[in-house]
A and B are shown apart, each in its own frame.
Chain A
Amino acid sequence: MEEAGGLAATWPGLEPAHAARPEAGRGPVRDHESHDGVETSPGLEHLDDVTLVDAVRSGRREAFDLLVVRHRRAVYQVCYRFTGNHEDASDLSQEVFLRAYRGLTSFKGSAAFATWLYRIAVNACLSRSAGQKPQADVLDPDRHVDTAHVAADVALARSRMAARVRAAVAQLPRKQRATVILRVYHDLPHEQIAKVLGSSVGAVKANFFHAVRNLRRLLGEAEN
């Protein structure tokens, strides 16, 4: 099974400097190589995110399809980290892109398109999760852990640990949860997280520290 977290979760075209160059916007996950039956005009694939946004604004809807292909995996993974289940993550991903399309005129290009999209995703997830307890998928060790190379008992232990971690992350306060997800699972620098969350870098670092402390406590409680 392909590792969906870690490097694969790195958002394509994250750095504004990269996003401004042709060929930028390509992460390690080459989702854009699949056209998914979506008709994209020849040549668009080589354009960077900002140029694609301009193309959408000038009426080329197919350019947005390409942006979706580039960023859908990262959006889905953020949504999954917040919701803990595939169905909600799928619905939220759709909502995120729809919101992005509607608000494309407000994208100024001062930050990377990915950062802007992160912000929409985090806001959508936090709005959805407000007052809602995440509904985790049914624990299925065969699905969550690659059991091909590990003993069954090890796989089960990893699966249980994963469930405990998900539950602990879900119990964090909203900003701490968002900070952990963006920092740990998406490797965003603190400065980038600050832009996404609309906070100061100091606040992000403090949130992250408290989040890790809280996770340590929650995981300890779960173990006992």
Chain B
Amino acid sequence: MWARHLSREVLLAVVEGGGDVPDREHVERCDRCRRDVDALRATLAAVRDVEVPEPSPLFWDHLSARISQSIADEEAPASAARTVGVPAWRSGLWLTGVATAVALAVMVTWQPADRSTLATLSVPNGEAGWAAEATAVEQGDTGWEFLVNLAVVAEEESWGELVGGVQPGMADRALQALSDAERTALIGLLEIEMRQPSS
């Protein structure tokens, strides 16, 4: 019977192959400490036995390349980072975006000058709608005139993107955004325009 057993620090030292001679002798004679040491050794052996799977031999090359690249990327001048990969055509997109926003706002809020000629015609298709814009300008309508001026101000290519990108169904969607009264007024204007003899 042993009055005192080994402390955890000494137990650990013995488990790892160290410890003083008296401590190792104690373990040989003390059942409890020996059981502790055996259990800790078995656990450590089981843990130690687990290997890290060896990655592909190519992985090490790849890892080095990734690290080298990430450092190079980080060291690249910020100005270069800003410009690299930005297509030139995107530089004018802000103008197109502003033009689009303004155009849609005008189309939605535009009030026809003459509300007396309401009609019940069906909604014209997109092509007819764009034709009506030019007509309205000829009639002195300031809203449509503003739109056309925008088209002149914007670069031809940008305007083409604006129109070409959303053209299918654009007029229909814009008309759907109008109130019933606004839509009816617009149709009336179109009807008047279409009745005029072509020049």
Binding site for B on A (CB under 8 A): 1-6, 9, 31, 34, 36-38, 61, 64-65, 68-69, 72-73, 76-77, 80-81, 86, 90, 93-94, 97-98, 101-102, 137, 143-144, 158, 161-162, 165-166, 168-169, 180, 184-185, 202, 205-206, 208-209, 212-213, 215-216, 219
On whether A216 and B63 interact (CB within 8 A), knowing A77-B52, A144-B51, the answer reads no
Find the A residue at minimum CB distance from B15.
A212
Among A86, A184, A206, A208, contact of B55 (Cβ-Cβ < 8 Å): A86
Asked if A212 meets B51 with Cβ closer than 8 Å, knowing A36-B60, A68-B64, A97-B67, the reply is: no
Q: How far is the CA of A2 from the CA of B71 in the complex (A)?
A: 30
A162/B68 in contact, CB under 8 A: no
Residue B8 at the A interface, CB < 8 A?
yes
Say if the beta carbon of B66 comes within 8 Å of chain A: yes
Report the minimal beta-carbon distance from A29 to chain B, rounded to whole angstroms: 10
Residues of B within 8 A of A209 (CB): 8-9, 11-12
Once the chains are docked, how many angstroms separate the CA of A12 from the CA of B15?
Answer: 26
Contacts between chains A and B (CB distance < 8 A), count: 117
4 residue pairs, one from A and one from B, having the closest CB atoms: A216-B43, A36-B61, A36-B64, A4-B52
Residue among B44, B64, B66 with the highest chain A CB neighbour number at 10 A = B64
Within 8 A of A (CB), among B32-75: 39-40, 42-44, 46-55, 59-61, 63-68, 70-71, 74
Contact of B60 among A1, A73, A94, A213 (CB under 8 A): A73
* B52–A81 touching, CB < 8 Å: yes
- A185 proximity list for chain B (CB < 8 A): 48, 52
Do B71 and A98 have beta carbons less than 8 Å apart? yes
Contact, CB under 8 Å: A65 / B43: no
| Chain A residues closer than 8 Å to B12, beta-carbon distance | 205, 208-209, 212
Inter-subunit contact B50/A68 (CB<8 Å): no
B63–A93 CB distance below 8 A: yes
| Residue tally, chain B, CB below 8 Å to A | 32
Q: Write 27 A-B pairs (CB below 8 A) sorted by A numbering.
A: A1-B54, A4-B54, A5-B51, A6-B51, A31-B60, A36-B61, A36-B64, A37-B61, A37-B65, A61-B71, A64-B71, A68-B63, A72-B63, A72-B64, A86-B55, A93-B67, A94-B63, A94-B67, A94-B70, A98-B67, A98-B70, A98-B71, A165-B47, A184-B47, A212-B12, A212-B40, A219-B46
Complex: A61 Cα to B76 Cα, angstroms:
13
Instruction: Report whether A180 and B60 are in contact in the complex, using a CB–CB cutoff of 8 Å.
Output: no
| CB neighbours of A69 from chain B (8 A) | 60, 64
B53, A144: Cβ atoms closer than 8 Å: yes
**B interface list, Cβ under 8 A from A:** 8-9, 11-12, 15, 39-40, 42-44, 46-55, 59-61, 63-68, 70-71, 74
Q: How distant is the Cα of A166 from the Cα of B46 in the complex, in angstroms?
A: 11
Looking at the complex, which one of B47, B51, B70 makes contact with A169 (CB distance below 8 Å)?
Answer: B47
Q: Decide: A76 near B47, CB < 8 A? Known: A61-B71, A209-B12.
A: no
Determine the residue in chain B with the shortest Cβ distance to A97. B67
Closest residue of chain B to A166 (Cβ to Cβ) is B50
**A162 engages B50 (CB within 8 Å):** yes
A218 CB to nearest chain B CB (Å): 9
Once bound together, how far apart are the Cα atoms of A123 and B189, in whole Å? 72
Given contacts A81-B52, A98-B74, A212 and B43 within 8 Å (CB-CB)? yes
Residues of B within 8 A of A76 (CB): 52, 55, 63
Residues on A with beta carbons closer than 8 Å to the beta carbon of B66: 94
Q: Smallest Cβ distance from B12 to chain A, in angstroms?
A: 5
CB-based contact A80/B59 at 8 Å: no
Complex-state Cα separation, A97 to B63, whole angstroms? 10
- Establish whether residues B44 and A65, one from each chain, have CB atoms under 8 Å apart when the complex forms: no
